[in-house]
Structure 1
């Protein structure tokens, strides 16, 4: 086997292996913890270096999860903005009813609006709760918690221009207020105020909690996508999958599995789904304690931001502000919060993956192109052209070398005939020929090797970014983040049969228009490359386009569109470069002659 074919086989195998790895999920072994470990009530909050050293129990109240009152029938205040609708429960002051007006569950007519948060008592309850943890001289009955009955002091409904203020008097000299406002997108501002009308000084610590009952109903649980806890602590991003949260060490103070992190300056913490996110954001520049907690008794996940303890003397009033992001992970919106509002590292809440140094700029360019073109499909094609232009200098050298290899094919055949079965002599003769003609057989692998990280980066971009969700291209391609919905099994809609459901074996065999075009484009491109002389290698290469056609048939349409465009551009570049170097490939003539030979032989 000559060096050229060895390298081509190696690159091919590498491509197959790397692509297949993305479909394999190797969950870590489950850790064995003592399920009978006793729950220990939280101690009063103390302060070490300005950061609370010990957080209150989840919900920051003496009540356990089973004691928290359901809020489906509690009095409510409406949330009504252009992009959000829902309500706030006056029981606990929870933000627990939130819908994203701009997004639908499916592309079907009349599809339901995406629901981000829902109150306790409904399936997959998910809400944000704020309150105060008691310090010296206070207990949980004297501070607002999960079941506190708030009253509306100001405002009738929460809109972009009209905040609301809730009030609660503990009857012991402390009056608590909570003012909630929201911008034109998805950022809530929560101002927590305590007024001390009593005679003594009190200390207490404000907190925010996100509670989620069970894992999301639409959990993808896919290797390439992170879903679960996401947070930033002093410039360091942390991601914990839901399954890993349940494996956290048991914390005696929390009475549950938990992990806490002291953030000294900038940070945030919350839950991220495929396209949606809720995040607690304390005032940047101030310390706080970030916590992740899983309660096995109620199958609840929590993230918490506990801010420093404040001391309020008699006659004084103190206000602590924080923010809550609850909405869609739109690149431009999140980027604005990072750059204009100072939420450090917020853009990293989008899962850019291992090749983040490629995926982040790649999507930025794709977003810019879409802003000018107005169609994500055509923007993907434009991005492909731009990428091919950038890597063209490397590709040129490779294609020129491959053209030279095509010219040397007859000489290589003569050398093999002259050497007979002596493989060592063949290898030596080949190396002398390469050296004489100044040809590097390994250069043919370069386009494939360059293609691998680009392919995975674009795959990541198309899979994780919201902007590709339900984005149409042309004709029957109405969602670039989903596979081609057409099917060869019903003659692409001509027969009255429904297309197979994604995930079924019939879906893999169905093949849409785009996967078939992909196979053809790979086959045509292959015709320009030097053919392996070994029969086994030749068979492997002959099957490659059709294997890839089936493998990528269930990939997102946007990715298949990119691959087809890339193949067409590569074929054109290689064809023209070969002709410019004196080799005139007769691809279509060879194809016609091949069919003619088969017809004559009766195959």
Structure 2
């Protein structure tokens, strides 16, 4: 395989991978709209399996009623808590904007009949409040006052028959997307109470708003444990009953992941826990059940579970909980992507602009890989000097491919050229640049970040298509600098590729296109210089 075929194969393989993932997302079974359920199912709650010494049952999900509401306003969040179940029904992240409408604040949790997404909690057991029980709260607006570090929203549930009282309190913190849910259970009755709280996230199965066909990103559930690490649970597997993940542990968390954002329940300590998922009525739930033990009459117990619901900011995720940073998924290139983002972040802190940081990092990577890329370009340059002679051999031997290949092999041997000399350097560079691609795609830090002039958001497409056009022009120049394939069909494909990529990159985030443009320009300069050196050497 000559260098042109190798490059063609690599580029098209990567393109087909993106298109295949996008096609799968596009053609996945459409989620069924949530529907009402029977009264018994409506009030059902998840029950722990035999791992927590109780009979198995499944969580009900649809038919969310509306009750009295508390509206919470902090410096970074706008939230709505409903008395029905004490659910967190709405959550807007004030510093962020919607991808498809920059005038709207980004909404993570949605109080929507067709595309609901919410955080729920309750207690398993007969006579205990679930996410279908009605709590008491003081409706109205709760604002984080100037100078205050935290804000609490209390809810209360009482059962006069059993004498059990449950107090659920949401705790919001200044400048934080970490929302603590504190539960106090008071046993004023005469019977032992089994304390088995559960916490779950319930979501519709559609892709987030602003998702693009050419940029498929993961949307679904995830479980993390020390033993099995980060485990994705696709909605399709949940619906088919094929979800495979570690279900019991004494550590870990459960969450819902989407592009740039994550919501996760983060139980602390080494308390025994059971993870579960469920798909029903077009909705998907992922949750965790905890074993808090038994509560004797006259006793009370308090436990708190944090909920992180916010952006996948690298430093914040690392500081919030073990393994939460893996929600920012780079796939199999994670070991390579982490140091690349670390370097990009350090550069941005110095220059103060993510666009210039991308340019500088691309330059550094190009310098670091110069010896490898130079070897590949030198091999291609030597091949280019042989193009007229190779074409003459083709004309001489015509359709006799055996003699043509033998004559070409003799020529390579005489000229001391290895036609595969540029393959290994190119192959070694591919993982580095693909890792950088995923880093730029996943970096929520660039959401809403400008570069210069018309580029006001590096995660949004170029509004005037300037970068994609420049990328297309530089790609054409690269093709011209390479030795032209003798096969006319290959030559046509090599010229069509820049046009195809220009069309694709129109929909890509500006930060990604900027990287490709800078990399193309540096590659052109390097290849042009090496071509000149080789041509002068050949002339001598």
Match of 2:218?
Answer: 226
In structure 1, C-alpha distance between the alignment counterparts of 2:336 and 2:69, rounded to whole Å: 49
Query: Are residues 1:358 and 2:344 paired?
Result: no
Distance 1:566 1:148, change over 3 A: same
Preserved contact between residue 451 and residue 458 of structure 2 (Cα < 8 Å) = yes
Counterparts of 1:563 and 1:198, CA distance in 2: 68
Distance 1:30 1:65 in 2: 19
CA deviation profile, 1:387-409 (whole Å, cap 9, x unmatched):
21221111122223333334445
Q: How much has 1:411 moved relative to structure 2?
A: 5.3
Question: What is the Cα deviation at residue 455 of structure 1?
Answer: 4.3
Aligned to 2:239: 246
| CA deviation profile, 1:397-427 (whole Å, cap 9, x unmatched) | 2223333334445655666677677543443
Say which of 189, 203, 211 aligns to 2:194: 203
> Aligned partners of 1:401, 1:11: CA distance in 2, in Å?
13
| Structure 1: tracts of 5 or more residues without a match | 32-37, 250-257, 338-342, 487-511, 587-603
* Aligned residues between the structures: 519
Deviations 1:43-98 (A, max 9, x none): 9957756x355455426xxxx844x5313xx142x423211122323343222232
- Deviation (angstroms), 1:436: 3.4
Residue from 265, 274, 277 that aligns with 1:292: 277
User: Equivalents in 2 of 1:293, 1:246: separation in Å?
Assistant: 7
Pairwise CA RMSD of aligned residues? 3.6
Which structure 2 residues correspond to residues 404-483 of structure 1 after superposition, within 5 A?
404-409=382-387, 412=390, 423-446=401-424, 448-450=426-428, 452-483=430-461
The aligned counterpart of 2:107 is 115
Q: TM-score, normalised by structure 1?
A: 0.76
Distance in 1 (CA, whole Å) between partners of 2:207 and 2:409 is: 59
Say which SS state the counterpart of residue 240 (structure 2) adopts.
Answer: coil
Q: Is the 8 A contact 2:129 2:157 kept in 1?
A: no
1:589 corresponds in structure 2 to none
Secondary structure of the structure 2 residue equivalent to 1:146: coil
Who is 1:387 aligned against?
365
**CA offsets per residue over residues 90-113 of structure 1, 9 Å max, x none?**
34322223211101225867x121
Aligned-pair CA distance for 1:324: 0.7
SS in 2 for 1:572: helix
Distance in 2 between residues matched to 1:544 and 1:217, nearest whole Å: 30
Are 2:288 and 1:305 aligned? yes
Contact 1:92–1:146, Cα closer than 8 Å, also in 2:
yes
State the match for 1:187 in structure 2. Answer: 178
Q: 1:559 aligned to 500, 512, 516, which one?
A: 512
Other-structure match for 2:306: 323
Deviations 1:232-260 (A, max 9, x none): 134332223334433337xxxxxxxx988
Aligned with residue 133 of structure 2, among 115, 127, 147: 147
Corresponding residue to 2:115 among 114, 124, 129: 124
1-structure distance, mates of 2:372, 2:521: 18
Shift of 1:332: 2.4
Aligned to 1:504: none
Note closer, same or farther for the CA distance 1:93–1:367 as it changes in structure 2 (3 Å cut).
Answer: same
1:18 matched to 2:4: no
Paired position in structure 2 for 1:175: 165
CA separation of 1:293/1:581 partners in 2, compared to 1, >3 Å: closer, same or farther? same
For residues 235-274 of structure 1, the aligned pairs below 5 Å read 235-248=228-241, 261-274=246-259
C-alpha distance 170-371 of structure 1, shift in aligned 2 (>3 A): same
Aligned residue in 2 for 1:520: 473
Change (3 A) 1:52 1:379: farther
Match of 1:548 among 493, 496, 501: 501
Query: Residues 585 and 528 of structure 1: is their aligned pair in 2 closer, same or farther, counting only changes over 3 Å?
Result: farther
Correspondent of 2:86 among 84, 93, 102: 93
Deviation at residue 385 of structure 1 after TM alignment: 1.0
Partner of 1:502: none
Instruction: Please report the TM-score for the alignment, with normalisation by the length of structure 2.
Output: 0.84
Residues 395, 485 of structure 1: CA spacing in aligned structure 2 closer, same or farther, 3 A cutoff? same
- Which of 379, 388, 410 is 1:401 aligned to? 379
1:365 Cα deviation from its structure 2 partner: 2.4
Structure 1 CA distance for aligned equivalents of residues 284 and 331 of structure 2: 24
Query: CA distance change for structure 1 residues 464 and 420 in 2, over 3 Å: closer, same or farther?
Result: closer
